[in-house]
Amino acid sequence: MKQLPVVKESFRTVFDMCRWPVREKVLAAGIELGILDAISAPASAENVARSIGTHPGNTGLLLDALAALDLVVKRNGLYRNAPVSQAFLIETSPTFLGAIFTYLLTSAAFTSEELMRWVREGSGSSTKAHTASDEMTKAEVTSYISFQRAGRAQKVASVVSALLELPSFYKMLDLGCGPGINGIAIVSGHPTMRGVSFDRPRTVNVARRSIREYGMEDRMTAIGGDHTCDPIGEDYDLILACDTLCYSEDEIDHVMSKIHAALSPQGVLLSIHHGLTHERTKPAGMVLGMLISGLKGEDMEVLDQGFIADAMIRAGFRSVRSRTLDSDWGELDADIARK
């Protein structure tokens, strides 16, 4: 008599993957249709549909799906945003990230046929996603303001606040500052520190606007330039390089020596960045996020864990310590070097 197979493994992980595309599309629809903006206060599906001009029955189905994903709370037939949606997915929130999430969902959209074609045929080209001469577009920098403001800057500032040398810091450099919110968070939390935001000329103009917006003109300045070849200043007690040094892979020793020279005698370099482990197969979120760009021939310039720490040692830092930061945007490497 034929026996049933002995099943020792679970296919739950694979089965859940089959339902991921539905979740992504439900999230995108909730943002783009304005449904989440309509339920800051409890509302029925009919009232939501009336306010945004959609079909009442299908609006209710989408709201139920959002509730299933814990983005919406449903009680007594009325819908209201869950705290995470109220914080990050409605346009009136100061930490609104809906535009970024929509971009990520759109940029990652592809068909199975496209994926298989890229694997079979290759891309026919090879480019770097960023170069030292690039300027971030206005839209990129503006979106990155929200990204830094919605928790990234606060996380970076908390790492700095734990440094034993913090009370003695007087001057810091935010190297590759983007919109400058990280540096503002650090300087504003210290009673005497002064800060310099440094990035490429057009990009640093956004940092200047951020400095004015947060009333930090008396304590912060901004400098435009290319950190690989232009002067970056000197006598810094702290240099922050957040998602910066990964774009200097080919000249990391030159850049690291330049940073070492720019620090005061007891200065500290803090580099925060993504790092790949397990032969570049982990963290899973980063590997999957790089996949489509990689298949299209783009080098996303994500380094192996330890690459930057090794460069710190070669540059002559007396102490290098590394730790993993758990964050909403995945695992990050924090490398701390003391001169």
Where do the domains of the chain lie? 12-92, 127-338
Architecture field, domain 12-92: Orthogonal Bundle (1.10)
Pairing of strands 275-276, 298-299: unpaired
- Residue from 243, 246, 228, 241 nearest 267 by CA: 241
pLDDT of 123 reads 72
pLDDT of 137 reads 59
Burial class of residue 120, CB neighbours in 10 A (0-12, 13-18, 19+): exposed
Phi, psi of 236 (to 5 degrees): -85, 135
CATH of 127-338, picked from 3.40.50.150, 1.10.8.640, 1.10.240.10, 3.10.28.10, is: 3.40.50.150
- Give the span between the Cα atoms of 144 and 146, in whole angstroms: 5
pLDDT of 133 reads 41
- Give the span between the Cα atoms of 260 and 312, in whole angstroms: 9
* Three-class DSSP category at 216: coil
- Running along the chain, 339 residues long, what does each successive block of 10 average in pLDDT? 93 89 94 96 97 97 97 98 96 91 81 88 66 54 81 94 95 96 96 95 92 97 95 97 92 97 97 94 89 82 93 98 91 96
